[in-house]
Structure 1
């Protein structure tokens, strides 16, 4: 593949110590250049952390040149692919955790030693899994993200007498039923707006039921497991919730679900924390809801918070960087306990459970933090990209909501997954 060929970093140095081999022995004598690509989230939200780490790196390696460039999510992958193809890739690159497998499979990333990073023993498992392939670690968890319940506290207050979001699913269902009854004159009003093809939500219920999308077997192959009893249980539960509480078009996906609440058609929905801001945005939403819309932990059917799809970012060192050791040490500094605490202090979920714990009781972060420990991620399989592209799971959910049995729909979905999941896409 083109990505695997000719990967030469733009930080090439003529110095024999440019690869950092002498860095550990004599950091003061190490020379070379380390180029880092970070997403512009860091520039906007934690520039002080970036500056501190860069200063720390410069103090340890005074003869090494550090070059930092900020990237935007819209065009980062295109730019990175082009840089790799042209032999001008950065030494360190931030990757969204759904992007990592593409670069692992193409040979674009260098393996790293987990034992050399602080808090590695308590890294959030699902986040660390996004960096792991064939028992090797190919990147380092940076920070996490999760989905939460987003709700109109006034709607809950008026129907139940309590503006708080219920903490258990039985309590939530009882509250949703009361909200449905209070708003029964409005046939477009959804107590819980849960889009039918919303597979991230559906698979959260699968995870809560002990099921999974696919598993890696002893023969070295992935195979779909949506037809397994526990997976079917979760899918059935999700479908029941959709039918019971979503009064909108059940075939519409979740991309603009915030609009249902912004337009007064929903009391709650399940989404990324930032979607709450969409509800109250002055132009696209309803600014009058600013003090009404809240976030909370979404309760699952097993008495625990609903497991969330783990979002977030990872940091990787490119495979043919001439400064691998130096680049890895920069990543080590940027993901240290001190650095992760700087993120936690800004309400960003850190990469490890130890520091995440302090955010579980903080009002601004409790909902997201409590959803993380049991988080799940998509199968780290060669053909997963093709499975997503073919929309196998959303189509399965739509078929179920149109009347196909869970048993038949999941059997067909597994067969379709099996055709694609083991082939590199």
Structure 2
């Protein structure tokens, strides 16, 4: 997955060889010897998880052998596209949740709509399920998710007299103003953290782009999106974050580690990086979901993560589905969430990570998860990313409406190419 807010990069390729004996057990795929290949992204899961999954799958499917291969992310998009068009495609592939539309557009991905009920689709996280659904058909099966939360310095909150994390955007602004005094930054929020902006826009009922009459159009210039940008502007002003770069320049974890910043917006795993940079902060960091307009529910967040797809060119689609079903099922979702600090694909499984403050906050926010516009051309929008330029323009004094109109026109042009 190209971003994407998972503590680990998402890029592994897993080759799975399935040799199932005919009529060997009730769990067997049947039909004689079958060789099955599955690609999953590097660092998605630990070796220990893969080993245990292989052994369990082999036990439940007589004659099955799993051959796991690791593959780098660089160039994987071109490789997947080529594989989908070939006669020798893998049987299961892990893809970034926002990439499903791009691959489905090729016509080389199997429609799994008839499996949604069996896989408890009504319980899936929206931010994973929605990108996997294209034209009313479910091509991608949600696997795991990660999203941003607020990481805060407990000592600085206590010094400001704040005893409980805020649960509304109004309270969040008020608390951040109280924290932004003297040498302390209320929040470190770079000017081009556009995934965070997207959440504020979704909270207002807007979007980055919308589809109407079969055509995609940029939507940053709608009243809803402009309100989301205005909230971002007010929050960003309560710190010293650069207005012309994102959270990677400079790395915001390093800035936070200096000890004079009260909050950052990051995946929970960012706290580990902070603690590595400044061990004195270990045990002093807390987490809470990004607040929403009301206390009734957390704010909207971008859901990064992975889906599983089955190529049309797979010669063993029934056997491939058994691997997908197992990986997306309760047993391995629970195991993976606890081991990797991911959010499971089902909302009803959020409790399995409640004993970890960071992942619990992430799971609470995941229920309000969204994905970027489900267009095959969205990757091209991100390549030039007019959203970032728009944000910098507004934060440095440009007229928001005019800047939004310009950025929306750029998005529309790219999505229509």
TM bin (shorter chain): 0.7 to 0.9
Q: Look up the match of 1:287.
A: 279
Distance 1:299 1:12, change over 3 A: closer
CA distance in 2, matches of 1:107, 1:170: 46
CA distance in 2, matches of 1:68, 1:114: 25
Q: Classify the secondary structure of the residue corresponding to 1:42.
A: coil
CA offset digits 1:240-283 (Å, max 9, x no partner): 2112x1213221211221121112342111111211111112xx
Q: Look up the match of 1:32.
A: 34
CA distance in 1, matches of 2:261, 2:246: 15
1:314 aligns with 2:307: yes
CA offset digits 1:20-76 (Å, max 9, x no partner): 9xx9998433332111223333234633652355225523xx3x5543323344564
- Conserved 8 A contact 1:117-1:336: no
CA offset digits 1:105-129 (Å, max 9, x no partner): 2334222133353211211122111
Q: How does 1:11-410 map to 2 (within 5 A)?
A: 27-39=29-41, 40-44=43-47, 46-47=49-50, 49-59=52-62, 62=63, 65-74=65-74, 76-77=76-77, 80=80, 88-112=88-112, 113-115=114-116, 117-160=118-161, 162=163, 164-181=164-181, 184=182, 186=183, 189-217=184-212, 219-243=213-237, 245-255=238-248, 256-281=251-276, 285-303=277-295, 304-346=297-339, 347-356=341-350, 359=353, 363-410=357-404
CA distance in 2, matches of 1:230, 1:55: 51
- Conserved 8 A contact 2:202-2:300: yes
Mind listing any 5+ residue stretches in structure 2 that lack a counterpart?
1-14
Distance 1:310 1:56, change over 3 A: farther
Distance 1:294 1:75, change over 3 A: farther
CA distance in 2, matches of 1:405, 1:177: 25
Q: State the aligned residue count.
A: 395
CA distance in 2, matches of 1:83, 1:66: 20
Q: Look up the match of 1:5.
A: none
CA distance in 1, matches of 2:136, 2:388: 30
CA distance in 2, matches of 1:331, 1:363: 29
Q: Classify the secondary structure of the residue corresponding to 2:367.
A: coil
Following TM superposition, where does structure 1 have runs of at least 4 consecutive aligned residues deviating by more than 6 angstroms?
Answer: 10-13, 23-26
- Conserved 8 A contact 1:196-1:401: yes
CA offset digits 1:78-103 (Å, max 9, x no partner): 65456567765421111122333332
Q: Larger Rg: 1 or 2?
A: 1
CA distance in 2, matches of 1:364, 1:45: 23
- Conserved 8 A contact 1:160-1:175: no
Q: Classify the secondary structure of the residue corresponding to 1:160.
A: coil
CA offset digits 1:317-352 (Å, max 9, x no partner): 122111112111221122122322333444431111
Distance 1:231 1:167, change over 3 A: same
